[in-house]
Amino acid sequence: MEDLEQLVASRLQALDGAEPSAEARDRVLGRVDRQVVVRRRRRRAAGSVAGASLVVAGGLALPSLLPNSGDGGATPPPIAIGTVEPGEKGGTSGGSGPDLGLGEFQGDGPGAETPPGAAGGFDRSLPTGKTLTVFGIGPDGTVLGMGVGPNGRSDRTLWRTDLSALLSAPVPIAKADGLYSATGSAEVTVWPKRTDDGFQLMCQGAQGDPVQLGTTGVARRASVGFHVDEGVVVWTDRSPGGRVWTARGCADEPSPLTEGYAAAFSYPYVYVLRPGEAGATGQGVHRVDMETGAAEDHDLPGATKATLYAAAKDTFAVADEGSLTLYDPETWAPRAVPDPLPEGEATLSAGDDVIAYTTSDESLVYDAADQTATPREGTAFANGPWLLTREGDSFQLAKTS
């Protein structure tokens, strides 16, 4: 129980002076109570299974070798955010009350992979009374966002929740004037901060304080110009014409990569926008392999500064004027998605299997393997094997592969 009490204390202390409501305290403590029950149940189950294994293997069981239900008992499998699949016992789905984002990890033990389809969830309400607006999702399932009040004003606070947390409630990790986006993982998180020298890119690792990457700022277009994948940060500065920089983590010295605007990044490929070749309309894409330095150029007819881009291991996605096109990174063969895109200011994100185009209240999720598109109410974001969707007043996280 001591570790859970410490976790609750750290969650409340992380509010950095903000006084959580009584409702928030009750909600957190309610989650703790339920997780205590789950931990005890798993510890007893682990002890029973271990005891049975000894009987089968050795023909008899030695009581002194069996795990017990005390502190010296067998380590239970980890608990993470989410609900079990519908129809399985022990989950919170299908209950009469709201899903508070508490469930059991569906793995086989410490470090086990979350199976495809396993889902997690967390509430949009923040302990400060604000509502979480999500910027996106990282390749490890990390969710980043900021708090917004009823009047639409931001709390200028970057919030994060991830699968490594025992409780799924978002935690504030930084204050940033002018915060408009963020990306990264539990290991490396980056975001823009307005300073006297314009917007600069801030970076925070798993431990330590935020640091500024470079001194030449970070550029902004419709498609965000900074990215993180496999611990590598790629961003565009504010120099004339733009310059792309890279850093391996927050402590690395930034290195210039090429000229242009970094529209998308999926390690090792950086997709850099440049003016189209002579006689061509739209934008040119300069793709750079960070491992080998090899580069190649392609044209994107009709692309504008308002065009959105996203990249995954097998896909480079482009959304413009209500249409979505996927390009094969190796052959550059295009595949046009016939389904119309939702109207309004949007965000485009790409995962291993799905592409998500989302506005503030509706989205289109495209399954690249099945070549099927699903319109949805609420926002949706994809990255790596993860898909995050908004379901009413909560977010649901599912693994797609």
With bands split at pLDDT 50, 70 and 90, how would you rate the model's confidence at 21? low
User: What integer pLDDT is reported at residue 284 of this predicted model?
Assistant: 87
Q: Cα 188 from chain centroid? A: 12
Query: Are 92 and 103 a contacting pair, CB within 8 Å?
Result: yes
Does position 226 have pLDDT exceeding 50, yes or no?
yes
- As a whole-number percent, the residues of the chain with pLDDT over 70 amount to 67
**For a pLDDT cut of 90, what percent of the chain falls above it?**
53
Q: How far apart are CA 109 and CA 176, in angstroms?
A: 38
Burial of 12 (0-12, 13-18, 19+ CB in 10 A): middle
Average pLDDT over residues 290-295: 93
pLDDT recorded at residue 299: 86
What does the pLDDT read at residue 222?
76
Q: Please calculate the CA angle 379-359-176 and round it to the nearest 5 degrees.
A: 80
Torsion of CA 83, 86, 87, 88, to 10 degrees: -30
Is 236:261 a contact under the CB 8 Å cutoff? yes
pTM greater than the 0.75 cutoff: no
Is residue 377 within 8 Å of residue 361, measured between CB atoms?
yes
Tell me the pLDDT tens digit for each residue of 191-211. 999 999 999 999 999 888 999
Kindly report which listed range (232-236, 292-296, 300-304) carries the lowest average pLDDT score: 300-304
What is the model's pLDDT at position 9?
52
Identify the architecture of domain 119-399 in CATH.
Answer: 6 Propeller (2.120)
Do the beta carbons of residue 132 and residue 377 sit within 8 Å? no
Q: Which range among 21-35, 71-85, 171-185, 365-379 shows the weakest confidence by mean pLDDT? A: 71-85
- Residue with the bigger pLDDT between 21 and 96: it is 21
Which of the four pLDDT bands, split at 50, 70 and 90, describes residue 83?
very low
Taking every pair of Cα atoms in the chain, the longest distance, rounded to a whole number of angstroms, is 83
Domain locations in the chain? 2-65, 119-399
Of residues 71 and 31, the one with the higher pLDDT is 31
Residue written as token pair 């086990």: 112
Residue pair 185/205 in contact (Cβ under 8 Å)? The answer is no
- Cis amide leading into 340 (omega within 30): no
- Range with lowest mean pLDDT among 17-26, 43-52, 138-147, 317-326: 43-52
The pLDDT tens digits for 321-355 are: 899 999 999 899 999 999 999 999 999 999 999 99
Task: Compute CA 19 distance to the chain's CA centroid, rounded to the nearest angstrom.
Answer: 27
Q: How far is CA 338 from the centre of its chain?
A: 28
In a 3-state reduction of DSSP, which class is residue 5? helix
Name the region of 279 (left: φ>0; alpha: ψ -120 to 50; beta: rest): left
Per-residue confidence (pLDDT) for residue 94, from 0 to 100: 29
Compute how many other C-beta atoms are within 10 angstroms of the C-beta atom of residue 118. Answer: 20
pLDDT band at 274 (very low <50, low <70, confident <90, very high): confident
What is the rounded distance in angstroms from the CA atom of residue 191 to the CA atom of residue 176?
8
Tokens 């500064």 correspond to what residue?
305
Q: What is the pLDDT of residue 17?
A: 47
Per-residue pLDDT at 390? 93
Tokens matching residue 20: 């959580």
Q: Average pLDDT, whole number, for the chain?
A: 76
CB atoms within 10 A of CB 267: 18
